[in-house]
Every structure is written in structure tokens, then in C-alpha cells.
Amino acid sequence: MDHGDPSDRVESTTDTMDYLLRHNITKGCLLGECHLLVDNLGEGGFGFVTRCFNIEKCKMEAVKILKSNPDLLCQARNELTILKQLRCLNPDTCNVVKLNDVFCHKDYICLALELLDQDLLDYVGERQGGLPMSEIRPIIHQLATALYHLSSIGIVHADIKPENVMLVDRSRQPLKVKLIDFGLAYPVHGKPCAVVQTVGYRAPEVMLDIPFDEAIDMWSLGVTAAELAAGFHPYAGNKDYDVLSLIIKYQGQPRDGLLDCGKKTGCYFNRQTNGQQRWRFKTPQELDMLPKLMDHGDPNDRIKPLEVLQHPFFSHIRQRPPVVNCIRTGTDSETPEVSPQSMSPSSTDRQKQASAILVRFANREQNIMFQLEMAKVHVFSVLFSFFSFFPHVMTF
């Protein structure tokens, strides 16, 4: 069961404030030596995010207060280590959140981060029927850029989802986004401290319990892109088993080769001697444990961030290919100029344009046709045409 997933957001502001009050962290108190707490922004699995005024620099910052729970100490140290590593990247051109400072408040480690505007989940929630291609294109381009640079320094984010993508400033820099929350991130050649990825965004090799690497971030990017296009989570569910049943319903069952490699395949599939496939998805009555989703896709065939950036889908965005060596020079106070995001013109018939563009995201080897039901047919056909841009998603 993934209800205990440390990456899951805690939605109750009341619970967050109650916790902070019990630990004498209230509005108006001074965190460290110079951060005046103004407001609470929310709670994550590993800490609380607050809005603070830095009285020394005279500016607002987001301060993440890492929980002092001994069980989460490994994750807290890990996030701090990863954020320090990210300092070698230009936060503006590499589309990652900037760490300004690290300090202690009583027994808490506090991370002072740049204050951003709104996460993609809330942004999409304010719209009707998903985002237009003119907005999806620059957003996915920037996220692929971020993943490209993370890969260049050997870091896996491991929790890509709309909640962890922030708009920088909707009024001054429309559609400029940055990747945040590195609580589950880990070195690609190391081992994660916790269960990686959130239910519904989790990659196949993670679910099947086979070795995984930075390719898991590309799977989550695909799910996020589809969610932006459709306006709803394509595989919403409280349990992995429910999500997997939706995957199988709309995409078909994972291929036997991938299921054969999974240490946990037997939890959700039964072997069979007759039939076209060796594995059969268990019915709810057949489950002998609380399920986890094992969706599919060969991680070896998964598209790389640079391939995404070079795809014709982004031909409207006139930018030079990213450079691996993006080590910052000068002081932290220097802010590199951010290139404006170019956007394609709006369409008078967004649905037809979306369908036409998304169909171009065909699988490298074949076009997958989906038989869907009733009113969802058009939405899901567009959705999965978009998914097929990521060849791993449609590999059985």
C-alpha cells in the first residue's frame, strides 16, 4: 500500500499549522537569525514550507523546515546534499529551484529557497479541459531541459509530477517553470533513501522491482504531459492495483518479457499455460496482498531528455541545444538573463490541432490503436497519441 508514500502531499493546512504550533513555530517568529515567518505554504513528506521575509536581504523567500523525525533523517540529509550539488547548475537556464541558504532553527534544518509562484497542479485546476499546445510545449521543453541537466550530473529526481513543477512568476515570466522538491532525489549510481515516485506517476521498473535509473523520470514526465493535455490525471487511483487496471484497460497488458523480470510480478499476475501471454492480471478477489501498480515499458528503450528537446514537436521553440557544462561563474548574486519562451499561435479549433500534433508523437516501431468507450474515446485517443511520443510507454 502506498498511502504511506513519503512524497505524498499533506493537504490539510490545519494539521500543518497544528504541528508548527506544537513546536513553537508560529507566524511572526524568527527562524534562525534573519527569516521572519510570514505564512505557511504547505507540507510535504519531509518538511513544511513557509513564506519568510529575509530581513538581511530584504526579500521574500520560501523556507523549508525539515522534520526532526529520526526516521526521516536520512531523507533530510539526502535532500540537503542534492540541493548543494545543484549549485553547480544555473537555476534559471537549467529550470531547477535555487537554494539560497541553509541554517538551523532549534533542532530543525532549514532550507532557504527562492520563492516561486504557483504549482502546475493548481494552474491546470484553474483551467477547463486541459492546457493548449501553446502552453504545453514550452512547459515540457523546460522540464526536459531540467532532466537533461540533472542527468548530466548524475541525479535522479524520482518524483516528477505537477505538484513539483512551479511557475516562477505568472505576471512577469508567463510559463517559465522550475522543478522543485528534491526530497526523493538520489545519485544515479546510489540507492534511494525511500520509496521513489508517487502512485500514478511511478515507472514500470520501480513497480516491478527491477533495477532502475534516471529513465524513471522520463516516464513521470510522460504522465505529467498527458495530464496537462487532458486536464485530469490519466491514471487516477488510490491504490496501484486500481491504476494498473486502468493501464491495462486502455493500453493493454505489459509484455511478458518485462513481467518475467519483475520480482513482484506474481503479486498482481498469475502465470498461465494457455493464452497469448504467459501472465494474466489478477482479479480483485485473487489478490493475496495489498497491490502495487506494475505498469509497463522497457527502460532500455526509454527516450532521453536530449531526444525530447530535439524532437520536431519543439521546433517552434528557437533555442540552442543545452550545454552540459553549465557551471555558474561569478557570485550567487548574479542572475543570468533568461531567454523568453516562444509559443506557437493559438488555434481556432484547439481539439483538432491537438489531435494533429499529438498524432505526430507516434511510436518508433508502430502506431498503437486504442479501443475506448463512450464519451472518453476522443479524449483518450488524443491523450495516448501524446503518450506515444515516449516510446517506452507503448512498448509491450
Retrieve residue 106's grid coordinates. Answer: 532549534
If you search the block for the grid coordinates 516561486, which residue do you land on? 116
Tell me: do 371 and 284 sit in the same domain. yes
Tell me: do 124 and 76 sit in the same domain. no
Q: What b/e sequence results for 294-307 when a residue is b if at least 16 CB atoms lie within 10 Å of its CB, and e otherwise?
A: bbbbbbeebbebbe
pLDDT at 216 over 60: yes
- What pLDDT does residue 370 have? 36
**pLDDT tens sequence across 295-335:** 355 677 777 888 778 877 777 776 666 766 555 544 444 44
The one catalytic residue in 92, 119, 159, 240 is: 159
Tell me: do 43 and 144 sit in the same domain. no
End position of a domain, from candidates 114, 147, 165? 114
Length of the chain: 396
How many percent of the chain have pLDDT more than 70?
Answer: 71
Q: Residue 76 in contact with residue 47, Cβ under 8 Å?
A: yes
pLDDT at 288 over 50: no
As a whole number of angstroms, the distance between CA 228 and CA 248 comes to 21
Tell whether 68 is covered by a domain.
yes
* Higher pLDDT pick, 260 / 16: 260
Q: Residue 89 in contact with residue 96, Cβ under 8 Å?
A: yes
Q: Is there a catalytic annotation at residue 159?
A: yes
pLDDT at 367 over 50: no
Tell me: do 106 and 222 sit in the same domain. no
Tell me: do 182 and 167 sit in the same domain. yes
Q: Residue 204 in contact with residue 301, Cβ under 8 Å?
A: no
Tell me: do 194 and 62 sit in the same domain. no
Domains identified in the chain, total number = 2
**DSSP state for residue 275 in the 8-state scheme:** S
Q: Which amino acid is located at 95 in the chain?
A: N
Pick the closest to residue 145 from 115, 170, 178, 118 (CA basis): 178
Tell whether 2 is covered by a domain.
no
End position of a domain, from candidates 57, 81, 114? 114
Tell whether 50 is covered by a domain.
yes
The average confidence (pLDDT) of the chain is 76
Tell whether 4 is covered by a domain.
no
Retrieve residue 330's grid coordinates. Answer: 561569478
* Higher pLDDT pick, 228 / 352: 228
Domain of residue 68 covers: 13-114
Task: Report the CATH number at residue 362.
Answer: 1.10.510.10
- What pLDDT does residue 373 have? 40
Tell me: do 330 and 291 sit in the same domain. yes
**pLDDT tens sequence across 56-113:** 999 999 999 987 777 777 788 888 999 999 999 999 999 999 999 999 988 888 999 9
End position of a domain, from candidates 114, 148, 183? 114
Q: Dihedrals φ, ψ of 177, to 5°?
A: -125, 160
Task: Tell me the β-bridge partners of 253.
Answer: none
* Higher pLDDT pick, 376 / 124: 124
Give all strands of the β-sheet with 99-105 in edge-to-edge order: 30-31, 35-43, 47-54, 59-66, 108-114, 99-105
Tell whether 6 is covered by a domain.
no
Q: Residue 165 in contact with residue 120, Cβ under 8 Å?
A: yes
Tell whether 330 is covered by a domain.
yes
Tell whether 306 is covered by a domain.
yes
If you search the block for the grid coordinates 504545453, which residue do you land on? 136
- Cα 97–103–105 angle (5° rounding)? 120
What count of other Cβ atoms lies within 10 Å of the Cβ of residue 188? 14
